[in-house]
Amino acid sequence: MNYFSSDFKLGILGGGQLGKMLLNDTRKFDIQTLVLDPSEEAPSRMSCNAFYRGNLNDFDTVYQFGKMCHVITIEIENVNLEALEKLEEEGHLVYPSPKTLRLIKNKGRQKDFYVENNIPTSKHQRFVDIKDLQNALDKDELDFPFVWKSAEGGYDGNGVKIVRSALDLYNLPEVECLAEALVPFKNELAVIVARNAKGDIKTYPVVEMEFHPEANQVEYVICPARIDKKVAEKARAVALNVSKAFNHVGLLAVEMFQTEDDEIVVNEVAPRPHNSGHYSIEASYTSQFENHIRAILNLPLGNTDSKVAGIMVNLVGEEGYTGQVVYENIEKIMAFDGVTPHIYGKRETRPFRKMGHVTIVNEDMAEARKIAEEVKNSIRVIS
């Protein structure tokens, strides 16, 4: 099939910042792209060939949108899977497949999948709702502390809470959930795997994630991770096993813990471009976004090696500010060597909302980390 400068149409479900960054590469290759998103002001709106506003969970909306496309992909997991299954039955290519999405979308099912496939992960218990979980505590079938997760719909630190006592259970939503054992870890790591329909597969270098202590959001993504080479090799091997087990096509971001004794434990995955791979736009030979396009179109995968050390800093809305966004001191950070800001196109800021990111590249990792700290301390996302 001729994808380039042709009548071929790629459909993207979701029009957020991941879609916007994917579209940089569809434009580079002159691939016609259609986007569906519920928001009139979706960041992807400005870059696609055709934008459709609609509910991603509505069967008819997703089905009618998909019928216009030859290949359909996602930038968010929360989409109507029945519509995608029908489209797949009718001969439309859907990557990642609805089958893979079904396994991943529900975090309880995802954890069960790891256990069934001998993939190292923390112990977990699934519950119908918070009352069911409370019942397990009352019967001594569950002990504090544990990590509470909503089974579906969590993102950017929402839907996750460390529960140390009964007090921490107050105000948790009445949804299907799971309790995971707390893992004592040295580092939070991630590996992005690219895989096309032919089964060609490549991993990006291991990245290290530094988290905000309160928001449970990534503050810095550091590539390469500052870990022992053997641990890095083990993390990449585990990521490959996870990818093969899911049999996914496209990108799979595998988030992991490096335990105190240097074992690798899988936390969760995302079957799409991921925050932990944003550094790759400036630092890699082939960005995660380009490789996602290559993978879902069954094209040869690009080189996943880094050209240079890269650190990514998330730009999130500052506490106490809601309204029309202002990026304070952006000119100051743009004066630093190797600094590239990415602004997502969200007009309205609110506390901890992801509004953009900044990549810092440098031959010297220590210098990159120092500049990243300056960037973090200089720029403010306010209103």
Q: Residue 156 above 70 pLDDT? A: no
Q: Which of 152-156, 175-179, 329-333 comes out lowest in average pLDDT?
A: 152-156
Give the pLDDT confidence of 171-181 residue by residue, as tens digits. Answer: 899 999 999 99
Indicate if 123-180 has the same CATH topology as 9-94. no
CATH code given to domain 9-94? 3.40.50.20
Q: Which of 61-70, 157-166, 181-190, 351-360 comes out lowest in average pLDDT?
A: 157-166
Return mean pLDDT, the chain.
95
> Would you list which residues are annotated within the binding site?
107, 149, 180-183, 188, 267-268
How high is the pLDDT of residue 68? 98
> Would you list which residues are annotated within the binding site for ATP?
107, 149, 180-183, 188, 267-268
Angle of helix 98-105 relative to helix 81-89, nearest 10 degrees?
160
Domains of the chain, by residue range, sit at 9-94, 123-180, 185-382
How high is the pLDDT of residue 216? 65
Please give the CATH architecture assigned to the domain spanning 185-382: 2-Layer Sandwich (3.30)
pLDDT band at 154 (very low <50, low <70, confident <90, very high): confident
**95: its two tokens:** 């990557």
Q: Is the pLDDT higher at 12 or at 211?
A: 12
Number of Cα atoms under 13 Å in the Cβ half of residue 235: 30
CB 284 within 8 A of CB 305: yes
Work out the number of other CB atoms within 10 angstroms of the CB of residue 342: 19
As a whole number, mean pLDDT of residues 101-111 equals 95
Answer yes or no: CATH 1.10.10.10 is held by domain 123-180. Answer: no
* φ, ψ for residue 122, nearest 5 deg: -75, 155
Q: Is the pLDDT higher at 78 or at 218?
A: 78
Give the pLDDT confidence of 259-306 residue by residue, as tens digits. Answer: 999 999 999 999 999 999 999 999 999 999 999 999 999 999 999 999
CB 73 within 8 A of CB 31: no
Chain position carrying tokens 């800001």: 341
Q: How far apart are CA 201 and CA 211, in angstroms?
A: 29
Q: How far apart are CA 355 and CA 56, in angstroms?
A: 22
DSSP state of 166: G
**171: its two tokens:** 């105000």
SS3 of 60, please?
A: helix
